Amino acid sequence: NAGVTQTPKFRVLKTGQSMTLLCAQDMNHEYMYWYRQDPGMGLRLIHYSVGEGTTAKGEVPDGYNVSRLKKQNFLLGLESAAPSQTSVYFCASSVQGARTEAFFGQGTRLTVV
Amino acid sequence: AQSVTQLDSQVPVFEEAPVELRCNYSSSVSVYLFWYVQYPNQGLQLLLKYLSGSTLVKGINGFEAEFNKSQTSFHLRKPSVHISDTAEYFCAVSTTGDYKLSFGAGTTVTVRA
């Protein structure tokens, strides 16, 4: 069982470069989320999706874009990376919103220099 | 909007001793409460959740938590910890109709022999 898979696991970017993080889930979940984790701040929601073709902003959406063209995939894009986006990024999915268990990927450690 | 406060950022504890991790929440409506655990270099996984009913909730790995509505708390306990319980623990809250979780800042538990 793969669950939630994130690609890549590690990445170093230069300021101003762009990249896309891929999240894939094989559990047929409707809801998908992108969080960032920073020391002492817990997890903060960047964007989320409640179904294929839908996206919505979370707490900290600035500098990020997302797309959900297929139900199983949720892409997070950084158009022009900044050092403040150095973080660990987690993707998660759930069956039916926030009262059901969220399943998390292993994380992507991104460093912007 | 709801929020979560984890009262301890670091909890050192000796093996086989009990541990309690404190979590307080604020919300003007009914809440759903969760504890997630993150082992080193891994994603988060669900320990336990409170949706309704009995205020004492039992989870995996011998953990339990008690929902106290009057004190707006959801403290996590384990009567006897193991070295393998060394991890970061996150309290999270959501409300009816909400699609997403709000996480606390996390509590790092270090178990020593």
The predicted model gives A32-39 an average pLDDT of 95
Which of the residues A32, A43, A48, A96 would you substitute to probe the B interface, choosing the one with the greatest number of B C-beta atoms within 10 Å? Answer: A43
**CB atoms A102 and B106 under 8 Å:** no
- Average pLDDT over chain B, rounded to whole? 93
> Is A106:A21 a contact under the CB 8 Å cutoff?
no
Residue in chain B nearest A57 by alpha carbon: B100
Question: What are phi and psi for residue B59, nearest 5 degrees?
Answer: -125, -160
Residue in chain A nearest B90 by alpha carbon: A42
pLDDT above 80: residue A2 = no
> Which residue in A31, A42, A99 is closest to B103 by CB distance?
A42
> Is B1:B100 a contact under the CB 8 Å cutoff?
no
The whole-number pLDDT of residue B23 equals: 97
Q: What is the rounded distance in angstroms from the CA atom of residue B63 to the CA atom of residue B61?
A: 6
| A44 in contact with B, Cβ within 8 Å | yes
The whole-number pLDDT of residue A23 equals: 98
The whole-number pLDDT of residue A89 equals: 97
**CB atoms B105 and A48 under 8 Å:** no
Structure-block tokens of residue A13: 């970017």
Query: Nearest to residue A34, comparing CAs of A88, A101, A97?
Result: A88
Residue at A6: amino acid letter: Q
More confident residue, B29 or A103: A103
Q: What is the rounded distance in angstroms from the CA atom of residue A11 to the CA atom of residue B110?
A: 29
